[in-house]
Amino acid sequence: MEKSKAEFALRLRHAMEAAGYEAKPAVLEREFNQRYWGRAVTLHGVRRWLLGETFPAHDKLLTLAEWLRVLPEELRDGKEIGKRIQQQRKRWDEGIGYQEREVFEAFLKLPVAQRKVVREVILAFVKADAAGGK
């Protein structure tokens, strides 16, 4: 968790600089509080964000993201997660034809007990194929 806080702090500083602001607590406090409609954050609070000691609450993260023009999930978690998700989606979209989609739709219409049996059969085939390839 400490590593993710430190990485968030680094992304926050980079986002501030990319938006043309100095990555200083006083700048962050002023600019954030001008945009946030909730209770103002203190200089000490934003300093803790910049040092990687704490994460902002979700509503504050959204305000930061909008101000700095970055996606909230990129600010919080980095770009790598989004890239991995896009790669998985691309693989899924490119690797599955209409016949497989029909099978998946039919699978989803099955009762839960039958889906479990189908899943076990598929996994048995995968395991057998992996063992046969050794």
pLDDT tens profile 36-95: 999 999 999 999 999 999 999 999 999 999 999 999 988 888 777 667 777 777 877 777
% the chain with pLDDT above 70: 96
Looking at domain 2-81, its CATH superfamily turns out to be lambda repressor-like DNA-binding domains (1.10.260.40)
- Label residue 133 by pLDDT band (50, 70, 90): low
Q: Is the dihedral of CA 100, 103, 109, 110 positive or negative?
A: negative
On whether the CB atoms of residues 26 and 42 are closer than 8 A, the answer is no
| Ranges of each domain in the chain | 2-81, 98-134
Residues in the chain: 134
On whether the CB atoms of residues 47 and 35 are closer than 8 A, the answer is no
